[in-house]
Structures are given as C-alpha cells and as structure tokens.
Amino acid sequence: MATRVDRIQIEYDLKFQTPFHCGTGIRVGLIDRTIVRDQAGYLYVPGSTFKGVLRERCEQLARLYETGDENMRELIASPHEEAIALLGLGKTTTMVTRIFGSHNHPGRLFFDDARQTDEAKKEFDSLDRHETDWKGKYKGLQTDEYTQVRLNRPTRTALPGALYTSEFGVRSLILKGSITGWLECIPIDAPVEDAPTYSLLLLLAGLHMVDRLGGNKSTGKGQCACNITKVTIDTKPVNWSPWLDHLEFLSYYSTDATSQEEEEA
C-alpha cells in the first residue's frame, strides 16, 4: 500500500478553564515570571509550546494502540531521546514521527501560534471607540498576579528568600490556532467515508486530548479544552468527526507499514 501525501489545514479553538502561564523566562519589575505577549501586548500560546504538548498526547495514544508490535512501541519516544533515534535508523517510520518529525525524518507541518481574534482583543480596548487615547487601556485585565513561595519538600517548609510573583492569563480566554502543511502517511483501508491516513487520525485524536498547557500544571493551572473547528485536505473541507469513532484502526499501522516495505523491497 503506497503512502499518500495530503496538504492539510486544521483550525482549532483553545479555551482555558483555569489561569495559565506560558512564560518568557524574563523578570520585569516586581514580577519574577512574566507571560508571553505579542508586540501589541496581547496574550498568545506559542506554536512550539502547543506542538510539544500535542506530541506527548499523540505518543500516549500511539503506545496505547501499538500493542502488537513491541519494536514499534520502543521507537515512539521524545525527539530528545537520542539513543532511540539512532535505533530508528533504517526502521519503519512511526505515526508520531510522520507528524512531528525526528532527527532523521523532518516533519512538514507548521504549528502556528494560538492567538486571540480581533473581536476578542476589542474587549481589552477602549469601551468608547471615540476616545482613542484609551485604546488598549484594559489589556491588564488579560492577566492576574499570584505570589507564591518555594517549599522545601522534605521538611514542607518555606525556603528563605524564595518568594516570587508570577503572571497568569485569565480563565475563559479563547485563542485560535492552526496546523498547516503536508502529511505523508499510509491511508487507512476501512469502510469510513473519505478515510484518512493513520497519522492524520492520530493527530486529530491527539488534539482532542490536549487538556493542559503551560507551567504550574501540578497546581491545577493551564486546564483547557481544544475544539477542532475545521479540517481541510487538499483545499477540500472534510467531515472528520466520524473518524474518531474508529481509533481502533490505529493498531493496524505497523502491519500496513511492514507490508509497504516488503512491496517496495
């Protein structure tokens, strides 16, 4: 079975249910941990941050469904696992690698930053559009500040001089993002309308599993919901939602990938 190259575009909404923190690593004034903003001062989630969390979710799903091939499961690992990457040389490319790339198999998908819409930004602008001097006056309402203290875990006491203040984006903030590019994978041989490739099905399922982003997740921060709003393949919108009822087909990937290699040999 030959691989197929699809030009895809996936659009999604990201709604935060708790305060969140995507940090800059920069201290400003009395705030030790600032949150990322664009040049106009509006909060956003970097595409690299979203990509990393999404990859982790896709890896979890791939390991769950690759139950019949232990070798394939071993290859499903973080891109920072250099030993695993070397073991993968000359072996079957995993579904995860086809989406996100690896040391020896570059990905061809672009993960855009998730940003607020123009309508959402107006909520933080002037209430009176005629008062142009007030424009952007309410951007400070995008964030809250929290002061915390670092603890000594063995003694469960506060560490001296470890008081710090962090910025967090407010809950209920909605951001819009997209994933575009080319995805090369094996099409699923299944009685499903406009059957997707294995990697596209895994990617869509992983998007639905994104539930936390940013720092301080252990304290309940960064809870979110990712809602796919549109999927386009080769400029054609597709009805993708029924595909998620057939995630069991992901378990057949290693079999089809091996068959393809044998045919090519």
Q: How confident is the model at residue 84 (pLDDT cuts 50, 70, 90)?
A: low
Domain-embedded: residue 142: no
- Residue 261's pLDDT is 55
Find the range with the poorest average confidence among 131-135, 184-188, 219-223.
131-135
The answer to whether 197 and 4 are in contact (CB under 8 A) is yes
- Residue 26's pLDDT is 87
Domain-embedded: residue 241: yes
- Residue 65's pLDDT is 82
Domain-embedded: residue 115: yes
Model's pTM, two decimal places? 0.85
Domain-embedded: residue 26: no
Mean pLDDT for all residues in the chain: 84
Domain-embedded: residue 225: yes
Domain-embedded: residue 166: no
- Residue 151's pLDDT is 81
Domain-embedded: residue 253: yes
Domain-embedded: residue 28: no
Q: How confident is the model at residue 127 (pLDDT cuts 50, 70, 90)?
A: very low
Number of domains within the chain: 1
| 80, 247, 263 from 252: Cα distances, Å | 27, 10, 17
- Domain limits at 193? 4-18+46-123+171-258
Mind listing the pLDDT tens digit for each residue in 142-192?
Answer: 998 888 888 888 887 877 878 889 999 999 899 999 999 999 999 998 776
- Residue 115's pLDDT is 95
Identify which has the larger pLDDT, 154 or 67. 154
